[in-house]
Structure 1
């Protein structure tokens, strides 16, 4: 399979994944999709009680887990206001300043979906005496329905605890740029689907037992808290950070040396970076000052493993994010080289 073909496949999977709303706690549709895709490839994926999807893709010995998460940032209905607008509460590290003016969807517990828009309590420049600060208590959801009181909203079936998901607005340009909400971490999930697809299509000879793990509680800190008991090594495949004081760009694969949880395994970081260098990949070793990953949840759960973190460079994290197909290619090639003989 050519590099262009696998990038096209990953891009298709990304669009499919981002089209499925999956804020943390509301991930069943996303994991159902993963199960169907993996089963169609000829694998036997398993769904845990928690909702994580795991699948062995081959190999023997020295068990390795490659993990990505499909839960995203989002919000929940905290209360219904007297004027029929919804007061939200954050799910994960959602930043309201990045969502002011964004289209959204509200999902009810009886299976209905309504569209709306996120705005602060006084968004009109021609009306407001001063700008309203975009913090949670000043944000509200205006439904695209003719309701203006609590009773009208209740009649729609909307209640406290319903899920609010932002419009992902996924675009892949002809020049290779990938723009979307939730590239963290659906881009990496798509890359892992690409790995699984290529293992079958190309007959990769794996150099160890490799399990792919798609988690659903990463954004709230405990996605990777349970992995196969025999795991010896685990790599979170999550977004690489792009920003001030970092070497990574959207075109690179990022290898994290340290984040807010401390240093990653020194030998594994060295091995990954040496491999990237020997393969001529565009990469950077970076420190992420405000970051946590699934594999740290695994460590906190008591697993005795070597741990690492890599991912395609993503700019404007927890915002409307941007990456590039070059970063996807470099990440995919590093994973391929690391797990094949």
Structure 2
């Protein structure tokens, strides 16, 4: 399951533990490019505005009678049609904006491996269509532009509170046109895995955890690190897997389970997050903080906000392999400093990101959304 699924599962469990009655409305999200049956036009039309999805959501709302309807992902099966349907049910409507899909066709704000904000604030994603930003497809990019317009029509009129994960994301969506008084910053959270402050071994490895794709900067990292002291462990799979040429000091572990990642994190000298896109709020960073592991991250977007340097870790210019190598050599040469920053990362997790703190924020946000809906 992906990052959004992990967030939803944990959120639902935490709400139920707090005594809330929660039901999930889920749709099996078949990619429009992979759906069998029906013309492409029909598939695209449903992704933009699905009457069937709206009716199904409205029926569920009538049966369950929720105080709050919280939407995490409406693409592609549900579509923006669900927002007015939920609002009409009388429920307060909340949406978490996990990524930048509603202003960028590829959701990354990235083009040609560089940050791109051409479509932020524009009435339609014409640049996304021109550059075929959705998988190089003209028709797919046009569909995404139509989805974004439908979201403006459906969500901006119906959603009482929008959740964004960082201040950086808040600024992006304010430019998109989301009213600032309906935007609330609330980070992701994970259950506390437990923490022991034991020192790492002198030869503790560096660690990368993530999808093996250019947006995650794995190619930059492997250009930067070919040493064998300390070793670099790479956990993950993805489209670049067969192309990457790791040096002698790099161990490719492949995809790892959540438990295996926690074990790796607890042993690592530092987690490396060399992404070339802005990111949302990577769960892997929370996992590192909870484990008392410092972070080396790209100095852009949400990462620059989350990873405070020199407190919690180190920041480097995105895409700069030489600068990344210099920082990693410093990390390797000074275990005591890594331990200090790792302890600060754990303290930040305990203060800002533990589940009780973030769930308190969510309950208050729900109360505010209900009050706003009642005042309409």
Instruction: Give the TM-score normalised by structure 1.
Output: 0.28
Structure with higher strand content: 1
If asked which structure has higher relative contact order (CA below 8 Å, sep 6+), I would say: 1
Structure with higher helix content: 2
Instruction: Give the TM-score normalised by structure 2.
Output: 0.26
